[in-house]
Amino acid sequence: MRLAILLLAAFYSAAALAQTPAPGAAAAPRVAAKPKAAPAKPQSIAAKLQACLEIDDATKERLNCYDAIFSPRPKPKAPAAKGVTDCRFIKEEDERLTCFNGFAEKIPKLPS
């Protein structure tokens, strides 16, 4: 009978010790996990051009917006622009802005 009581006491104490946290874990403060922000989805060139259309027309800011997408590489005699990327070769800023506007306005509106 004494043996049964000793075994029973040993099992209960072992179970109680297993439920307490480790000394190192209790001393360390808990840090809340920060949710990771979803990486920014890169915009397409069409979306970037449409964003430039929201800036006031015929302004240096709109031209700077276009130039940030396609860096200007003026040529003395630029060929006729067949695509939006060809607008970067036009030397005169007003003509380059008109070229970019013409192509950007033809792009169908993308879903938001």
What is the DSSP-derived secondary structure letter of residue 82? S
Cα–Cα distance for residue pair 62/74, rounded to 1 Å: 18
Per-residue pLDDT tens, the chain, 112 aa: give them.
777 776 666 666 666 666 766 666 555 566 666 667 667 778 899 999 999 999 999 999 999 999 999 999 999 999 999 999 999 999 999 999 999 999 999 999 867 6
* Cβ neighbours of residue 33 closer than 8 Å, sequence gap 6 or more: none
* CA distances to 16, 44, 47, 49, 87 from 105, in Å: 73, 15, 12, 9, 14
pLDDT of residue 75: 93
pLDDT of residue 38: 65
* Cβ neighbours of residue 56 closer than 8 Å, sequence gap 6 or more: 62
- Helical (H) or strand (E) element with 29: none
pLDDT of residue 7: 64
